[in-house]
């Protein structure tokens, strides 16, 4: 029997924002910054509107390409008095960090050159700056700039001779007060086509730390030249960033070709990190984030209490030009009570190192990874690094690579793992912090040593838990192991191992995916307990169980669609059927 379920990208736990009446500020390519900014007399730059906007105002941006870095001067002062930046309804608004260049001079077949005064770039010349920073382990010679022909990014080369030999490539050099770019456009004339180069570091990010209640809705962002963003930086930058603000909503946007990070929820100077009320609480939902060189969404501490929901993140590091131990679709450090839910992640690439789907790295607590679809990652689908729990991984479909960990107190419930077992490598050379529950007050530090992991009500296909060594507090039961997957050595008394050759097929769609998988009657013979705080108990290191940000116990009583479970069948679908089951992930409704 075929079972078809549509997975909406708008999932449970979404904040609803209402705005009190305020001023509408309009921006149009036909406007003027000397105008008054209303619908009849709009401004021409978003930056002018950002300088004028007050709490409760809405900035409405009309169709066109805006080549600027928007730096909000202030935020709202409450949920009812946000400052909202929105693309006008049914209008395409592009915000680009690039400038169009049409003064290229032909050098030889396919090869063109342009010379620009360094002053053209102002105080940020991405062609004079390399990508650099901690854990960047290959490709450090690359610069922060890029060259695009009709929206397609070229590949940087180290010499002009290499450019001559490779179409769709470029090289840069600084000679005195001049920046020289050489690129191979093949048969195209760059002066007759849309040829753009990176100029701006970020696209929407304040210069002021800690702004609150800002909404960014419906824009197409492209071509940011921000640097590699490891957690050791005082200021982490990206195409769009909150700069350790609070209560931001970033939704319905498209972010393409950020040189490093698409959305940065990261470190900034002047923040009291022991005060959990000072930062975080963001909603990042229903965005398309693609072709970012380091990560789609990342940040140190700033993702605390945030909801990351219903986003499509794809082709991370697709050119494999540079990377290392920060490359992932989603990567957070030191976040507390963060929910990562209902996202589609596919295509994370590498030369070596990195390239994880979701990477929860070092000192995260109370994280929930729920209802995500992850596949085509060149490293593990999920990496839980140096966390002391609780981490709840439930209702996900993880295909292609195992879960990797050197953490403790992780609960895996109702997942479908395909070719995706579990790899644990202790880390006794480092110590990461853990917190007083639901705060950012550090109460201790520990090494990464196996303890208290649980597996209940999961389906494993072709790879199971047989390589997992027993550890203190480990428990596993009511799982189904198919097509050669094997159960654990330490549990699974009520689990089923069956040779049934389960079939799993993924069909890519431009803004979604369809997964078809089969199970047999043996899978339906397993009915497990409800996975909740009572079953799991309190984890001794952190002194809390699986619970939400308010300390309320969590019960995994709904499936990846939000449907209630009448019985606790294994896997992410409440209404699992023998034969074919179909899950469709599609982007949620956009304005």
Spatial separation of the C-alpha atoms in residues 586 and 2, rounded to whole Å: 19
For the chain, the average pLDDT equals 96
Residue 10 predicted with pLDDT over 70: no
Considering only 3-7, 131-135, 390-394, 524-528, which range has the smallest mean pLDDT? 3-7
pLDDT at 513: 98
Confidence category of residue 15, pLDDT binned at 50, 70, 90: very low
Q: Which residues pair with 497 in a beta bridge?
A: 481
User: Is residue 12 scored above 70 in pLDDT?
Assistant: no
Coil, strand or helix: which one is 457? coil
The answer to whether residue 536 scores a pLDDT higher than 70 is yes
Place 525 in a pLDDT band, splitting at 50, 70 and 90: very high
Q: What is the pTM of this model?
A: 0.96
User: 289-328 pLDDT, tens per residue?
Assistant: 999 999 999 999 999 999 999 999 999 999 999 999 999 9
- Between 413 and 13, the more confident residue is 413
pLDDT, position 21: 73
| Whether residue 9 has pLDDT greater than 70 | no
What φ, ψ does residue 532 adopt, rounded to 5°? -150, -175
Query: For position 289, what pLDDT does the model report?
Result: 99
- The whole-number pLDDT of residue 588 equals 84
Q: Is it the case that residue 276 has pLDDT exceeding 80?
A: yes
Residue 555 has pLDDT above 60, yes or no: yes
- pLDDT band (50, 70, 90) for residue 134: very high
Please give the Cα distance from 323 to 295 (Å, whole number): 10
- What pLDDT, on the 0 to 100 scale, is given for residue 47? 98
pLDDT of residue 280: 98
Burial 290-317 (b: 16+ CB within 10 A, else e): bbbbbbbbbbbbbbbbbbbbbbbbbbbb
- Confidence at residue 62, expressed as pLDDT on a 0 to 100 scale: 98
pLDDT at 30: 98
Residue 7: per-residue pLDDT: 45
Q: Can you name the residues that pair with 398 across neighbouring β-strands? A: 374, 417
**Averaged over 508-535, what is the pLDDT?**
97
pLDDT at 262: 99
355-366 tens-digit pLDDT: 999 999 999 999
At 563 the pLDDT is 97
- Rounded to the nearest 10 degrees, how much is the dihedral formed by the CA atoms of 336, 77, 26, 28? -40
Please give the C-alpha separations between residue 524 and each of 56, 102, 568, in angstroms, as whole numbers.
Answer: 53, 64, 10
Residues in the chain: 591
pLDDT at residue 19 above 60? no
For residue 590, the model assigns a pLDDT of 79
Residue 14 has pLDDT above 60, yes or no: no
Is the pLDDT confidence value at 221 over 90?
A: yes
Are residues 441 and 274 in contact, defined by beta-carbon separation less than 8 angstroms? yes
The average pLDDT across 433-450 equals 98
Q: Is the pLDDT of residue 449 over 60?
A: yes
Inform me whether the pLDDT recorded for 18 exceeds 70. Answer: no
Per-residue tokens: 383: 């990496």
Q: Give me the percent of the chain exceeding a pLDDT of 70.
A: 97
* Residue 17 pLDDT exceeds 90: no
pLDDT at 233: 94
Q: Is the pLDDT of residue 375 over 60?
A: yes
H or E segment and range at residue 162:
helix 160-165
Q: What is the pLDDT of residues 396-441, one digit of tens each?
A: 999 999 999 999 999 999 999 999 999 999 999 999 999 999 999 9
């Amino acid at each position: 029997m075929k079972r078809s379920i549509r997975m909406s990208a708008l999932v449970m736990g979404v904040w609803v924002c209402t705005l009190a009446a305020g001023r509408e500020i309009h921006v149009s390519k036909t406007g003027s910054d000397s105008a008054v900014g209303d619908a009849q007399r709009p401004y021409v730059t978003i930056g002018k509107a950002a300088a004028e906007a007050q709490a409760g105002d809405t900035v409405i941006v009309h169709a066109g390409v805006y080549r600027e870095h928007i730096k909000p001067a202030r935020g709202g002062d409450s949920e009812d008095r946000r400052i909202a930046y929105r693309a006008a309804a049914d209008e395409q608004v592009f915000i680009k960090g690039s400038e169009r260049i049409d003064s290229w001079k032909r050098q030889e077949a396919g090869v063109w050159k342009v010379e620009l005064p360094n002053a053209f770039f102002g105080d940020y010349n991405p062609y004079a700056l390399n990508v650099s920073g901690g854990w960047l382990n290959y490709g450090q010679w690359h610069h922060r700039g890029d060259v695009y022909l009709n929206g397609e990014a070229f590949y940087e080369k180290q010499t002009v001779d290499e450019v001559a030999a490779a179409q769709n490539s470029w090289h840069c050099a600084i000679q005195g007060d001049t920046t020289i770019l050489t690129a191979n456009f093949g048969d195209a004339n760059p002066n007759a086509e849309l040829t753009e180069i990176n100029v701006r570091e970020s696209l929407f990010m304040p210069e002021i730390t800690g702004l609150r209640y800002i909404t960014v809705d419906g824009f197409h962002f492209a071509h940011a030249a921000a640097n590699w963003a490891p957690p050791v930086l005082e200021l982490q930058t990206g195409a769009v960033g909150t700069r350790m603000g609070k209560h931001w909503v970033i939704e319905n946007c498209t972010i393409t070709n950020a040189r490093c990070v698409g959305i940065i929820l990261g470190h900034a100077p002047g923040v009291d990190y022991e005060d959990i009320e000072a930062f975080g609480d963001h909603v990042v939902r229903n965005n398309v984030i693609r072709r970012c060189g380091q990560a789609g969404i990342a940040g140190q501490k700033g993702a605390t209490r945030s909801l990351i929901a219903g986003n499509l993140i794809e082709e991370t590091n697709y050119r494999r030009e540079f990377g290392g131990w920060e490359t992932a679709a989603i990567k957070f450090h030191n976040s507390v009570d963060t929910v990562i839910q209902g996202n589609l992640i596919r295509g994370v690439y590498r030369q070596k190192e990195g390239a994880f789907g979701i990477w929860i790295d070092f000192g995260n607590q109370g994280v929930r990874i729920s209802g995500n679809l992850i596949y085509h990652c060149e490293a593990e689908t999920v990496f839980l690094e140096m966390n002391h729990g609780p981490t709840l991984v439930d209702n996900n479909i993880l295909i292609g690579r195992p879960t990797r960990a050197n953490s403790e107190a992780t609960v895996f419930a109702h997942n479908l793992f395909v070719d995706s077992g579990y790899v644990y490598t202790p880390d006794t050379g480092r110590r990461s912090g853990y917190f007083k529950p639901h705060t950012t007050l550090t109460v201790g530090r520990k090494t990464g040593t196996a303890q208290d992991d649980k597996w209940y009500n999961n389906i494993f296909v072709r790879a199971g838990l047989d390589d997992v060594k027993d550890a203190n507090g480990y428990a596993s039961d009511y799982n189904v192991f198919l097509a050669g997957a094997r159960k654990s050595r330490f549990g699974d008394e009520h689990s089923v191992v069956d040779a049934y050759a389960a079939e799993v097929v993924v069909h890519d769609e431009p803004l979604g995916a369809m997964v078809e998988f089969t199970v047999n009657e043996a899978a339906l013979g397993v009915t497990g307990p409800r996975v909740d705080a009572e079953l799991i108990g309190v984890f001794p290191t952190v002194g809390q169980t699986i619970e939400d940000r308010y300390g309320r116990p969590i019960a995994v009583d709904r499936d990846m669609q939000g449907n209630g479970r009448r019985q606790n069948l294994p896997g992410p679908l409440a209404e699992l059927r023998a034969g074919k089951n179909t899950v469709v992930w599609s982007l949620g409704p956009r304005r």
